[in-house]
Amino acid sequence: MSASARFASQKRVPLIGSTRKPFDVSQVRQFRSYAADEEPIKVSVILRPKEPVQPGVRLTREQFAQRHCADAGAEATVRAFAEEFGLSVEAARERGRRTLQLKGSREAMERAFGVALKRQETGVGAFRLREGEIMLPEELQPHVVAVLGLDSRPQAKSHHRIATPRAGNVSYTPVQVAQFYGFPPDASAPGQTIGLLELGGGYREADITAYFQSLGLPAPNVTAVSVDNGSNSPGNPSGADGEVMLDIEVSAGVAPGAKVAVYFAPNTDQGFIDAVTTAVHDSTNKPSVLSISWGGPESSWTEQAATALDQACQDAAAVGVTITVACGDDGSTDGVSGGGNHVDFPASSPHVLACGGTKLVANGTTVTTETVWNELSLNEGATGGGVSTLFPLPTWQANSNVPAAPTSGGGRGVPDVAGDADPSTGYTVRVDSETTTIGGTSAVAPLWAGLIALANAANGQDAGFVNPTLYTDPSAFRDITSGNNGAFSAGPGWDACTGLGSPHGAAVIAALATPQAQEND
């Protein structure tokens, strides 16, 4: 056998979990994908770690990269495979990402991965699509977790809701919400960087300066980080800009002094996962917390993408990065046509803090009522929540009376925590020179990210994976016992609408003060 035919002559086997369903344009509601049918195509090949990541072991980013990078032999195999099929290879700068990017023509990609790629024009953009499985040479298959980027369909939607003007609506600044939830007065987060994942839109410096001036706070230092050619591209206030500005203004508004790093990526599974791994292993900006306000029903993800993203979230826990994730704005169905109960991913990952939504009414600085956010009767959304079909019940949820899992492999309850999300009691924000009110669980993820940043600064350490600690301290929460999100109702203790509840800010900070174990060289 000649060296040039090493892989071409091998038996082809399916990449586990790579099956792609036909594209359903009805599930795409908000934003266009960045990618259409550009040439050349660039895919991300995610490899297995040379040593499995151990739960509960804290490492520096440098230690993690050394211990849990890809095996050198596996990388060499992928490089040889790429060369044989005429693909160029570029390794991610951060070795802990275990990502090689392969670049080449459509024809070369089809031959290399045993797929047929087609371009499809739709009302929401032009996409490159594949269906069925990715077929790998049998020598390559054991080393690969996922091959992402062959298909450029939109993967996620943002979980923000612009308020509909209506009598009785109120809005609050992030500073006011922090007061309602008992964040320590005058608390700040110097030395912390909050990461934000964005799959579209952008921000304008002038808006950030004007907004924080209105709050009486110094404007945060905001850095845009490009992932897979994503960019800070502000457009209009009704689009993704609303998500970007909500995330910046809420997170930095409740955690003054923190820097903000915004990771802009295409709205594809490749862009989503590359953005998470870039943020987690970013040794330049070094975010201690990452807020994600984008997601989609578990059923909309391929198994390989869900596995790769969950693994990235597990890696985050190992290097001390907390990930907060919005759990969706469509109630217990998560917007899936045909009914049934579904939860949003990556909120359902057992390695993130899933954030649900409430309706908060206050008098002065005091909360008068707080109930589950549910405006489904007005077609204005409701908090997501329910039980995962992909991930089993975590040990730290074992005593939370999570409802029975709908599948044998499921069981993880969503959400973990909550906060104000109803647009009718939403957040006053500035977007593209306009002041507006926005809600959604998209607001809760950056709210909790800001609180974690405050805790990190106050405690002198990064909290990392917070779920096991928070589930042991119910006194750190305002228990929400009224309302429902469709199929699930709130009640005493954890529930599938608001999780443990909304925060008692100072108590959360105190709960996270327990020293975190960290390995040293």
Strands 99-104 and 41-47: antiparallel
Distance from C-alpha of 154 to C-alpha of 145, rounded to nearest angstrom: 21
Strands 157-158 and 294-297: antiparallel
Of the residues 44, 152, 442, 502, which is catalytic? 442
Cβ pair 222, 262 in contact under 8 A: yes
Of the residues 151, 198, 241, 247, which is catalytic? 247
Cβ pair 325, 349 in contact under 8 A: yes
Of the residues 94, 243, 380, 495, which is catalytic? 243
Q: DSSP code of 392? A: E
**247 given a catalytic annotation:** yes
Which pair of tokens denotes residue 125?
């953009």
Largest CA distance in the chain: 79
Residue 509, classified by CB atoms within 10 Å of its CB into exposed (0-12), middle (13-18) or buried (19+), is buried
Which pair of tokens denotes residue 406?
């709908």
3-state secondary structure of 343: coil
**442 given a catalytic annotation:** yes
Cis preceding-peptide flag for 346 (omega within 30 of 0): yes
Distance from C-alpha of 66 to C-alpha of 412, rounded to nearest angstrom: 31
3-state secondary structure of 517: coil
**303 given a catalytic annotation:** no
Amino acid at 356: G
Q: DSSP code of 267? A: S
CA–centroid distance for 143 within its chain: 25
Gap between the terminal Cα atoms of the chain: 45
Distance from C-alpha of 31 to C-alpha of 191, rounded to nearest angstrom: 34
Cβ pair 239, 201 in contact under 8 A: yes
**At how many degrees (to 10) do helices 205-215 and 241-254 cross?**
40
Distance from C-alpha of 36 to C-alpha of 108, rounded to nearest angstrom: 17
- Residues with a catalytic annotation lie at 243, 247, 442
